[in-house]
Amino acid sequence: MTVTRRWVVRLLWILGALVLGFVIYAWRSPIAPVDPPAAGTFDMATIQRGAQLAALGDCATCHTASGGETFAGGRAVATPFGTIYSTNITPDPSSGIGRWSQEAFQRAMREGVNRAGDHLYPAFPYDHFTLVDDRDNAALYAFIMTRQPVQGRTPDNQLSFPLNMRFIIAGWKLFFLRKGPYEQDSNHNAEWNRGAYLANGIGHCGACHTPRNSLGAEIRSQHFGGGEAEGWHAYAINADSRALEAWKAEDLHMYLSNGWHDRHGDAHGPMAAVSQNLSSVPDADVKAIASYVATVIGNQPREKIRPEGASGNDTGAAIYAAACASCHDGSRPLPFGGVKLMLSTAVTGESATNLINVVLEGLRPPEGTTGAIMPGFSSTLTDGQLESLVAYIRSNLGSQLPWTDIESSVREARSRTHD
Ligand code: HEC
Ligand code: HEC
Ligand code: HEC
C-alpha cells in the first residue's frame, strides 16, 4: 500500500466510527405498549386541566385535517424541507396512541421521540413542549386518552433523502433542543414565570413569532422578533414591535382571549385559531401570558415617520376611497366597522403580506361564531391596482417608509389563493 492509500483507509475507518458513534448516539429504546387505560382511570379535574392545556397547545388545530375527525391527524404542515403530516393522536390502539404509556407520551413531549424510539420532526413543536412539567403532561395524557378513538392512518411525509431518515433529527436536537422542564427565573415574580412557562412552553408562541435559521430552528437571540406562518407574517412581539400603540398587558389580555382589540384590530390567519383556543382557557392563564409578553415588548413609544411625497399615488387613493373608506373611516360601530387602519400592524408592521392577504381573502368570522366580516377583493382588483392600494395605505395611513417587497408579496399571495 502506498502512503496515501493507507491514509485514505484510515480516514474511512475514522469516518465509519463517527457514523457508528452517531447512530448509537441517536438510538432510543422503544417503550413497551400498554393496554389502553380503562374508563375511570383519570379523575375529572385532571381531564379538565388537560383539556385547557390542549387548547393552550393548539393540539386539535394541528392534529385535525380540514373536515376530518378531531385529533385523528392528517393535516399537512408545510416546512421549507417538505411536507410533514400530523399524526393520529386519538387513543385508537392500532392507528393512534392508545397503546402509549404516560412515560411514552411524556418522552414525545419532552424529547420528540415516539413510542417505538424514532425521532420526531420538530414540525411537532416539542422544542417548546419540552418545557411542560410532569404534572401538566399527566393532565394532557389523561385528556387525550379519554377522547373518542378514531381509526385512520395519516399520509406519509413528503421529505427527500437524507431528511426522510429520522435518526438525522438527533443531530438537529444536539444543536437546537434545550431539554426542559421549565426552570423558574428568580429575577421575576410568580406571574411572570407562569406566563413565560405557558407562552414559551405549551403555548409555543415563538414557533410562529420567532424567525428561523436555515436549518429550521428558531434563532434564540431574536426571540419573538417576527416569523412566518402558513403564508402569513407573525409580527414581532418584542421590542421590535411596530404596532402604532405599544401593546400593554391589558390589551394583550383582551386580544388573546377575544381575538380582537378596538385599538389594534383582530386576529386573522393562523392567529385566529390561536385566540379561538385561548378563549377557552382560564383567564388567569391568559393574563399571565399577557403580562409576560408585555414585558418582552416593553413600552417604548413608536416613531411616526411621514415619508416625503406620500400623497402622490392617485390610483391607490381612489381605490381606497371607493372600496375601503366606507367601512374603515366610516361611522359603522366596531367591531363591524373595521378599525382605523393606521392602528393596525398590518399597515405599520414589517411586512406587506398580511395586508395583502386580508384584502384578497377578506375576513370571515371563525366557524360557529359571529364576528367581523370584510369582503375579499381577489376578483375585483388587478395585481397592479392592489400594489398601488397597498403602497398608498402604507405611506398615507401608516405614515411609514415604503415596503420594498409589495410586488413579490402580491405574486406569492395570489399563487397561494389559487391552489
Ligand atoms: C404545529 C403543529 C402541531 C401542534 C400545535 C401539535 N402537534 Fe403534535 N405533531 C405534529 C406533527 C407534524 C407530528 C408528526 C411528527 C413526525 O412525524 O415526526 C406530531 C406528532 C405528535 C405526537 C407523536 C405521535 C406519533 O404517533 O408518533 C404526539 C404524541 C403529539 N404530536 C401530541 C401533541 C399534543 C399533545 C399537542 C398539543 C399539546 C400537539 N401534538 C400539538 C404537529 C403538531
Ligand atoms: C400558528 C402560528 C402562531 C402562533 C402559535 C401564535 N401566533 Fe400570534 N400571530 C400569528 C400571526 C400570523 C399573526 C399576525 C396576523 C394577525 O394580525 O392576526 C399574529 C399576531 C399576534 C399578535 C398581534 C401583534 C400586532 O402587533 O398586531 C399578538 C399580540 C400575538 N400574535 C401574540 C401571540 C402569543 C402571545 C402567542 C402564544 C400564546 C401567539 N401569538 C401564538 C401567528 C401565531
Ligand atoms: C364591509 C366593510 C369593509 C370593507 C368594504 C373593507 N373592510 Fe377591511 N375590515 C372590515 C372589518 C369588519 C374588519 C375586521 C375588524 C378589524 O380588524 O378592524 C376589517 C379588517 C381589515 C384589516 C385588518 C386590520 C387588523 O389588523 O385587524 C385590514 C388591513 C383591512 N380591513 C383593509 C381593508 C382594505 C384595504 C379595504 C379596501 C380594499 C377594506 N379593508 C375594505 C370591514 C371592511
CB < 8 Å & 24+ apart, contacts of 218-222: 218/127, 218/176
pLDDT band (50, 70, 90) for residue 302: low
Evaluated on CA atoms 91, 96, 101, 107, the torsion sign reads negative
More confident residue, 79 or 339: 79
Q: Is 168 near ligand 1, meaning CB less than 6 Å away?
A: no
Burial class from Cβ neighbours inside 10 Å (0-12, 13-18, 19+) for residue 371 reads middle
Arithmetic mean of pLDDT, 49-71: 97
Nearest Cα residue to 207 out of 270, 156, 264:
270
Of 88-92, 331-335, 402-406, the one with minimum mean pLDDT is 331-335
Residue nearest to atom 22 of ligand 2 (CA): 235
Q: Judge whether residue 94 has pLDDT over 80.
A: yes
Residue nearest to atom 11 of ligand 1 (CA): 86
> Rounded to 5 degrees, what are φ and ψ at 374?
-130, 135
- Residue tagged 457508528 (cell numbers): 20
Q: Is 347 near ligand 1, meaning CB less than 6 Å away?
A: no
Crossing angle for the helix pair 283-297 and 249-258, to the nearest 10 degrees: 130
Per-residue model confidence as pLDDT tens digits over 323-346: 999 888 866 665 556 778 989 999
List the grid coordinates of 360: 384578497
The mean pLDDT value of the chain amounts to 92
Q: Judge whether residue 308 has pLDDT over 70.
A: no
CA distances to 236, 244, 304, 305, 345 from 348, rounded to whole Å, are 12, 7, 9, 10, 5
Which pLDDT belongs to residue 368? 63
More confident residue, 6 or 366: 6
390 Cα: distance to centroid of ligand 2 (angstroms): 22
More confident residue, 47 or 265: 47
Per-residue model confidence as pLDDT tens digits over 132-173: 999 999 999 999 999 999 999 999 999 988 889 999 999 999
**Prediction pTM value:** 0.94
Per-residue model confidence as pLDDT tens digits over 12-42: 999 999 988 988 888 999 999 999 888 789 9
Burial class from Cβ neighbours inside 10 Å (0-12, 13-18, 19+) for residue 230 reads exposed
Transcribe 339-360 into DSSP letters: --GGG-HHHHSS-SHHHHHHHH
Q: Is 113 near ligand 1, meaning CB less than 6 Å away?
A: no
Q: Domains of the chain, with CATH numbers? A: 25-176 (no CATH), 190-297 (1.10.760), 314-418 (1.10.760.10)
Q: Is 324 near ligand 3, meaning CB less than 6 Å away?
A: yes
Write the CB contacts of 338 (distance below 8 Å, at least 6 apart in sequence).
327, 328, 332, 372, 374
Which pLDDT belongs to residue 309? 52
Cβ atoms of 265 and 346 within 8 Å: the answer is yes
More confident residue, 303 or 12: 12
Residue type, 273: A
Which pLDDT belongs to residue 304? 63
Q: Is 377 near ligand 3, meaning CB less than 6 Å away?
A: yes
Nearest Cα residue to 119 out of 130, 108, 129:
108
Please state, in angstroms and rounded to a whole number, the distance separating the CA atoms of residues 122 and 177: 9
Q: Is 236 near ligand 2, meaning CB less than 6 Å away?
A: no
Please state, in angstroms and rounded to a whole number, the distance separating the CA atoms of residues 150 and 206: 31
Q: Judge whether residue 284 has pLDDT over 90.
A: yes
165 Cα: distance to centroid of ligand 1 (angstroms): 18
Residue nearest to atom 11 of ligand 2 (CA): 234
Q: Is 336 near ligand 3, meaning CB less than 6 Å away?
A: yes
pLDDT band (50, 70, 90) for residue 371: low
Which atom of ligand 1 is closest in space to residue 120's alpha carbon? 18
pLDDT band (50, 70, 90) for residue 3: confident
Which pLDDT belongs to residue 419? 47
Which pLDDT belongs to residue 388? 96
Q: What percent of the chain is helix, strand and coil (3-state, nearest 5)? A: 45, 5, 50
Q: Is 345 near ligand 2, meaning CB less than 6 Å away?
A: yes
Q: Is 293 near ligand 2, meaning CB less than 6 Å away?
A: yes
Pocket-testing residue among 62, 198, 254, 271, ligand 2, by greatest number of atoms within 8 A of Cβ:
271
pLDDT band (50, 70, 90) for residue 2: confident
Q: Judge whether residue 310 has pLDDT over 70.
A: no
Q: Is 261 near ligand 2, meaning CB less than 6 Å away?
A: no
Q: Judge whether residue 373 has pLDDT over 90.
A: no
Q: Judge whether residue 124 has pLDDT over 60.
A: yes
Return the HEC string of 63-107.
CECCCCCCCCECCEEEECCEEEECCCCCCCCCCCCCCCCHHHHHH
Cβ atoms of 146 and 84 within 8 Å: the answer is no
